[in-house]
Structure 1
Amino acid sequence: MPELPEVEVSRQGITPFLTGKQITRVEVRDKRLRWPVPDEVNQLEGQTIIAVRRRAKYLLIDTAIGSAILHLGMSGRLRVIDSTTVADKHDHIQIHLCSGKMLRLTDPRRFGAFLWGGTTPLAHPLLSKLGPEPLTEQFDANVLYGRSRGRKSAVKTFIMDNHNVVGVGNIYANEALFAARINPKTAAGKISLARYLLLTEEIKSVLAHAIQQGGTTLKDFAQSDGKPGYFVQELKVYGKGGQSCPNCGAELKEIKLGQRSTVYCAICQR
């Protein structure tokens, strides 16, 4: 599933081709995505794209009359290609531009979304209750420390909760906790402010570096130009249960937390 770095890389890839371009046609080839595609998206026709923004793992395509909301779901992919390119079975959304290009959403599993956010997209029910963006000043140790007091849930589950901070998916939660030397099973409420200070720094560092490397290609994700993400080559623990810890050499343990695969070092992470 594309996580925050992959979505940000997609945003960066498509933005130069979309900003300032007029939308000539919105082609919905299949409305049956995670939620039915509403007819309101057709209002985009004739509008000029002002900006392409990201909120958590959602992309916002802004115009003067309102914004469309895009989500890649589990296997979605965005590409900017020639408008004459023949569509395939899983090419569900095509936004045609005055430049002769189009933005195409390909989504084999149809867990993605293409919705209408109107003039206040951040107030949409899917976005209105999201936590702070991890790569902004609004996210710091005090946020996690304050929200964690009295919480008995595992810290890994806690930082993956989008109400506390957005975009820290499974891959990056594993990596950040390893870098901060925090056991993912530890109750969120038992972690000190000093350790949350280190964890927030590592979350920011891991996510920023993953974006710089083009994301993490595991199964479905590729950048908008078709190139893979290279952060997978730098993963320290994710997907490496049973292998040796890169720090101490002990065997990495793999368990399930919140039904998600969790890999950690019982020696290094306390």
Structure 2
Amino acid sequence: MNDINLWLYFVSETVGTGLLTLLGCGVVANVLLAKSKGFGGGTLMINWGWGLAVFIGVLGSAYSGAQLNPAVSLGLLLAGDLEVTLFFVAVAGQFVGAFLGAVLCWLTYKQHFDGEADAATKLGVFSTGPAIRSYGWNLVTEIIGTFVLVFTIFAFADYGDIQVGTPGGLGPLTALPVALLVVGIGASLGGPTGYAINPARDLGPRIAHAVLPIKGKGSSDWSYAWVPVVGPLIGGAIAAVAAPALLSMV
């Protein structure tokens, strides 16, 4: 850690997560908000948009190893691949970046937010929500989705294809496997909750929704906000414990 500048580490995670959230929330805005040129593009467009957002976010945060997700950072911490100080610096950067990315998304689509009558649609640009509200089962969905994410990231590292969490450890196409992984999770497991699989990605934009002067925005749905935070952290922790044993069998 002596060779790592903590400020640059924080900035790296802030920039990467900011790009992730700007483009991820942006594709949702493009599909959902009335009069947008991408209106009605469908869930697959959203899935691919989030995957490409991850691709760009990873490339934008090479210094810190492109964690971009407190669940990933927690997994690395529990696996002994990330020091405690770096964990807290990374997570702080992730939440700041997620908030700023959501603000930039709002500025980009300001007129479309003003022209959208449905408050739930506006909130859906910023944060996730369940198709069927059942907190226990929604939690299970987020745990499973995030387990797949973090476990597979460990598998990539095991095969030598990617090294998330290692400063400077990014090759030119390192971002591609994780981007495709996110597309796959969204396409197959994203239906019940909108697949937050990332506490910063959900909570940062939800806070932005709460504080921004969005016309007719309605509630930020704080009663649900704990699910996309707690679920991914549990899923990431389980993956960190399971990966060494399960991957050693491969």
Q: TM-score, normalised by structure 2?
A: 0.30
Identify the structure with bigger relative contact order (alpha carbons < 8 Å, sequence gap 6+): 2
Larger Rg: 1
Q: TM-score, normalised by structure 1?
A: 0.28
**More helix, by proportion:** 2
